[in-house]
């Protein structure tokens, strides 16, 4: 580790350091919020989650600490990689695949659920959160032309704040049959309901975990609908990910091109398990539907999400079919 002064001087001289993690302030007030800055290499992050790459590189790089508010005074002296898209998601719905597909496009730098976002999004005014992210996109070395951020599921609940802080980039929201997602959340044994109230206190506990999970999904769907009503994102169904990312509306919307080499790379990663590198993808949809049908609490919870799910599907279909109509008028799909 080096001193903050040495780190800032290195940045002034052209070194690339990016904020990697927030260390929250101590409860007794003896230490403020602090940012950890790291000098990472010029290669794209490849792990399913960005922090896995940061941890893997940590032993061999230079680090330093600053207070969180110091980001307002840092002269990163280089143009940040332009953020061309934000992927929001319903949870367990193919968002990691979407990040991998974007990572196969020429010149792309992708972040996947980085803790620097999760720890600074809530509680930081939009300008400060924006400064943190600008420092992230300025501090990554490499031949990158565009950046994409894949968010943690609950981030959509703060979607306006997130998009405002980053000057309103294009965004999508990926959704999936709630019954299938509820099965995944059921197996995780994690308290998802409390994520509705990050930065606040839950008003009451749900009667059971599955009901809490369903309320969590409902909150995210409602937040995404509000964002699309405001023209801030597009809905994407799990079933349409490959079609829309390769041949649909998303290359133009998110600012990338799909030539034959890119198409080949995208199809290649789509055959792999996005969470288990090196393993082939095997669909679990039939198994999830079977489990959902056998657990009364999941059946009931999923039925209460029927209208929201139908609305999400309607919105996804509009973008999909509208693009196909436009493509047909122009003698084929645009890439």
Segment 287-317, tens digit of pLDDT: 988 999 999 999 999 999 999 999 999 999 9
Nearest Cα residue to 316 out of 239, 223, 232: 239
- What pLDDT shows up at residue 318? 81
Indicate the pTM of the whole model: 0.92
317 CB neighbour count, 10 Å cutoff: 13
Q: Is 68 helix (H, G, I), strand (E, B) or coil?
A: helix
Strands 34-38 and 63-67: antiparallel
- What pLDDT shows up at residue 185? 93
- What pLDDT shows up at residue 326? 58
- What domains lie within the chain, and their CATH numbers? 79-329 (3.40.50)
- What pLDDT shows up at residue 335? 27
Q: Do residues 119 and 128 lie in contact, with contact meaning Cβ atoms separated by under 8 Å? A: no
- What pLDDT shows up at residue 203? 80
Which residues have CB under 8 Å from 61's CB, separation 6+?
A: 38, 39, 40, 41
Give the residues of the chain that fall short of pLDDT 50: 327-335
28, burial (CB in 10 Å: exposed 0-12, middle 13-18, buried 19+):
exposed
Nearest Cα residue to 203 out of 194, 213, 191, 190: 194
- What pLDDT shows up at residue 79? 78
Q: How far is CA 291 from the centre of its chain?
A: 28
Strands 18-23 and 34-38: antiparallel
Strands (E), 170-306: 171-175, 234-237
- What pLDDT shows up at residue 246? 97
């Amino acid at each position: 580790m080096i001193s903050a002064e040495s780190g800032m001087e290195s940045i002034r001289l052209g070194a690339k350091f990016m904020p990697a993690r927030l260390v929250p302030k101590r409860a007794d007030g003896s230490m403020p919020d602090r940012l950890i800055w790291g000098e990472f290499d010029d290669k794209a992050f490849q792990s399913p989650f960005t922090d896995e790459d940061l941890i893997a590189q940590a032993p061999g790089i230079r680090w330093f600490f600053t207070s969180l508010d110091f980001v307002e005074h840092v002269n990163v002296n280089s143009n940040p990689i332009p953020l061309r898209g934000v992927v929001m998601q319903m949870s367990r719905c193919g968002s990691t695949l979407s990040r991998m597909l974007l990572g196969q496009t020429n010149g792309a730098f992708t972040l996947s659920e980085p803790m620097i976002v999760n720890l600074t999004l809530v509680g930081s005014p939009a300008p400060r959160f924006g400064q943190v992210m600008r420092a992230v996109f300025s501090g990554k070395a490499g031949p990158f032309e565009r950046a994409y951020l894949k968010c943690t599921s609950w981030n959509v609940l703060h979607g306006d704040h997130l998009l405002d802080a980053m000057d309103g980039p294009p965004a999508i929201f990926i959704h999936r049959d709630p019954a299938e997602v509820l099965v995944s959340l059921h197996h995780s044994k994690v308290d998802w309901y409390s994520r509705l109230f990050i930065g606040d206190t839950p008003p009451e506990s749900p009667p059971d975990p599955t009901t809490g999970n369903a309320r969590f999904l409902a909150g995210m769907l409602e937040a995404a609908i509000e964002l699309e009503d405001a023209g801030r994102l597009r809905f994407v169904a799990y079933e349409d990910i490959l079609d829309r990312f390769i041949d649909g509306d998303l290359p133009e919307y998110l600012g990338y091109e799909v030539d034959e080499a890119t198409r080949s790379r995208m199809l290649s990663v789509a055959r792999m398990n996005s969470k288990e590198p090196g393993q082939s993808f095997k669909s679990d949809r039939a198994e999830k539907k079977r489990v959902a049908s056998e657990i009364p609490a999941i059946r009931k919870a999923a039925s209460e999400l029927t209208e929201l799910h139908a609305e999400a599907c309607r919105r996804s279909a509009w973008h999909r079919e509208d693009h196909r109509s436009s493509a047909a008028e122009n003698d084929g799909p645009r890439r």
